[in-house]
Structure 1
C-alpha cells in the first residue's frame, strides 16, 4: 500500500547520530509512513548503520556525493506519500509529531505546509517558538524561513503541481526559498508543540559556511521585501538588523537602540501589524541570544532559521 507520509532524511557521514534519528521516526505514534533515507555518498559507517535497521518502512537510496540540494530533490522524486515530512539525520523527532501534523493538515486543507516548535540540544539549549498563524508566517518570511525545515510536513501535490523544487542557486538557504515559493500557493503554519529536537554542533553549515549562507539569505530577504514594496534597504543595514553577532549587555543595548528601530520600521512598512509583531519577536530573539550564556564553542550568531544548517 502507498504510505500517507514519506519522511525524507538526507544523510552524509552521520554514523554517530543516524540510528537515533531513524529510531525516532520509526517509533512515531502515526504508523502509515515510509522513511526514505537518501545517502549522499557517505564514507563513514553510515551505510552499515542504516543497513542494520530492518523495519520494512525504511527505504534507502544510495547516490554519489552531490550535496544536500541534489539529495533533497532526489527524495522529492522518489517520495510516494501524500505528505512529505522532513527530518535531518542528526536530529530527533518528537513521538507525536506526525500524528499532530497529519491531523492538522486534514482539518485545514488551505494549509500546504506546517512545522512545529523545536528544542535545541548539544552546543546550545532552549525552546524556539515558531510563528503560528499563516499571517504571522508570511510576515516572518520577509526576514527568514518561517518553518524549521527539519520539522516540516508539506503537501507533495502542492510542490509538484507548482513545479517547486529545492533550487541550487539558493544553496545554504534552499529551504527558505522553497517556503517562499510555496507560500504563493497556500498557507503556512506551525503547531504549538515541540516536534523536533535540533542538534547544534560546530560542523553544521551555519557554522562552516556562514558567509555563503548569509549572502543567500540576504538575497531572498531583498526579493521578499521588494515584493512588498520595500526596496530601499541595503545589504549592510539589513544584515545588522537581522544578525547580532556580539554577546553581552553592551552588544544587546547597542542593537536595541541602533538596529531594532530600523527593523521595526521596515517590517511595519512591508507587512503592517503582522510585520510589527514579527519585528518585536525577532528583536527579542536577538537580545536573548546576546544575553544567553555560551555552553561550548559556538559561532556568535543567531541563525534566522534552522532548516539549512546541514
Structure 2
C-alpha cells in the first residue's frame, strides 16, 4: 500500500526542514513525499534543494498560486492510491503512516482516516487550547454528519484519504484560500465520514499569523459560503426550478451574510429573528410552501428556535440547517 505524502509550502524556511524530516523518519516504508513550493521568496527553495532522498519529489512554482492549487498539483503527481496531507510547519510522529495504513487495511471500505493531535508553539507542547481540544474530539458517524455544517472536525494535516474518492468529489477548490480543506471534507462526507485513530500521531503548529487567524471575519465568511453552497447544491439545486435560499438569523448575522456571502446566490430571502415573536415569519413562510431549505446562522437564541421547531414537528429537520456564524 503506497501512501503519497503531499506538502504545500510557501515561505516556510523556519519549519519546513523539520516537517520533511518527520516524514522521512516514518517507520512505514511504503511512501513517497511530494513537496510543492508555492513561489517562496525566502530560503525555502534552498532548503528543499538540499534534500537528497529518492522518496522525495520537489515541484517549484514560479509564482504563488495558493495552497489548494498546490495540493491539487502535488496529488496529480502522486503514484499512491492514498494521499497523506502534511502541513509544512507541522510534525508527524514516526509511527503515523504505519498506524494509518494499518487502520485502512483492517477497515475496508473506508475512504480516509485522521488522528488526534498535540498542539505546539515553537518546541513547546500546548495542552490547554480550545483548537486542540476540538480537533481531539471523537465523534460517531451520526455526530459528524449532524455537526458538519457549523464545525470542522478534522485537522487538515492529520488526514490520509483515498485518491479515488478525492477525484470523485472534485479535488480541492482553489476558489477558497483559507477553508479549502473544510470544503473538501463536506464533499467527502457524502461518501463516508472520516474517523480518527484515538492516538496522537501529529503535532499541529499553533500560529497566530496563520492565514485563517489573520482576519477572522474572512475565515468565517468563507466557511459560511462553503456550508451554504453545500446546502444549496444538495437540497435545492437538484430541483427543476431553482427556489430561493432562505437565510435565518439575527439582524447582525443576516447583514454579515448579505455583505460577505449573499452574492454567491442569485435568489435569497432573509428572515431576521431577534425575538420569539419573529419566529412567526419563518412559520408563515413554511406554511405558504416557500421554505425549501433554510440556513440558520446559529447563535444561542437561533439554536433554541431550531430545537423548539423540531420538537414540535420533526419535518423541520429536512428544511433547517445550522451553519457557521460570525456576529450574533
User: For residue 57 of structure 1, what is the aligned residue in structure 2?
Assistant: 55
Aligned residues: 253
Contact 1:164 1:182 in 2 (8 A): no
User: For residue 161 of structure 2, what is the aligned residue in structure 1?
Assistant: 154
Alpha-carbon spacing, 1:267–1:84, altered in 2? closer, same or farther (3 Å): farther
After TM superposition, the structure 1 = structure 2 runs for residues 157-196 of structure 1, keeping only pairs within 5 Å, are 157-160=164-167, 162-196=168-202
User: For residue 292 of structure 1, what is the aligned residue in structure 2?
Assistant: none
Where do 5+ consecutive residues of structure 2 fail to align?
237-244, 257-297, 318-325
Contact 2:249 2:302 in 1 (8 A): no
User: For residue 33 of structure 2, what is the aligned residue in structure 1?
Assistant: 35
Contact 2:169 2:188 in 1 (8 A): no
Alpha-carbon spacing, 1:97–1:238, altered in 2? closer, same or farther (3 Å): farther
Contact 1:12 1:42 in 2 (8 A): yes
Once the two structures are TM-superposed, the CA of residue 63 in structure 1 deviates from its matched residue by 1.0
Contact 2:72 2:171 in 1 (8 A): yes
**Secondary structure at the residue paired with 1:116?**
strand
Distance in structure 2 (CA, Å) of the matches to 1:45 and 1:267: 53
Distance in structure 2 (CA, Å) of the matches to 1:267 and 1:154: 34
For residues 110-156 of structure 1, the C-alpha deviation after alignment (integer angstroms, 9 at most, x for no partner) is 22121111121118922431334333322231213221111110010
Does 1:142 pair with 2:142? Answer: no
Distance in structure 2 (CA, Å) of the matches to 1:266 and 1:99: 43
Contact 1:159 1:165 in 2 (8 A): yes
User: For residue 89 of structure 2, what is the aligned residue in structure 1?
Assistant: 90
For residues 222-250 of structure 1, the C-alpha deviation after alignment (integer angstroms, 9 at most, x for no partner) is 3456658996533855999xxxxxxxxxx
Alpha-carbon spacing, 1:266–1:10, altered in 2? closer, same or farther (3 Å): farther
Distance in structure 1 (CA, Å) of the matches to 2:209 and 2:12: 11
Contact 1:9 1:38 in 2 (8 A): yes
1:25 pairs, out of 18, 23, 26, with 23
Once the two structures are TM-superposed, the CA of residue 214 in structure 1 deviates from its matched residue by 1.0
**Secondary structure at the residue paired with 1:185?**
coil
Which TM-score applies when normalising by structure 2?
0.68
Structure 1 consecutive aligned stretches of length 4 or more whose deviation exceeds 6 Å: none
Distance in structure 1 (CA, Å) of the matches to 2:137 and 2:254: 21
Which of the pair has the greater relative contact order for Cα pairs under 8 Å at 6+ separation?
Answer: 1
Does 1:133 pair with 2:134? Answer: no
Distance in structure 2 (CA, Å) of the matches to 1:67 and 1:108: 34
For residues 195-219 of structure 1, the C-alpha deviation after alignment (integer angstroms, 9 at most, x for no partner) is 2111112321122243221101012
Contact 1:4 1:83 in 2 (8 A): yes
Once the two structures are TM-superposed, the CA of residue 58 in structure 1 deviates from its matched residue by 1.0
- Give the root-mean-square deviation of aligned CA atoms: 3.1
Q: Which has the higher mean CA deviation after the structures are superposed, 166-175 or 85-94? A: 166-175
Where do 5+ consecutive residues of structure 1 fail to align?
241-257, 276-300, 302-310
Alpha-carbon spacing, 1:261–1:34, altered in 2? closer, same or farther (3 Å): same
Once the two structures are TM-superposed, the CA of residue 88 in structure 1 deviates from its matched residue by 0.6
For residues 174-195 of structure 1, the C-alpha deviation after alignment (integer angstroms, 9 at most, x for no partner) is 1111111111123321111112
Higher Cα Rg: structure 1 or 2? Answer: 2
Distance in structure 2 (CA, Å) of the matches to 1:264 and 1:110: 37
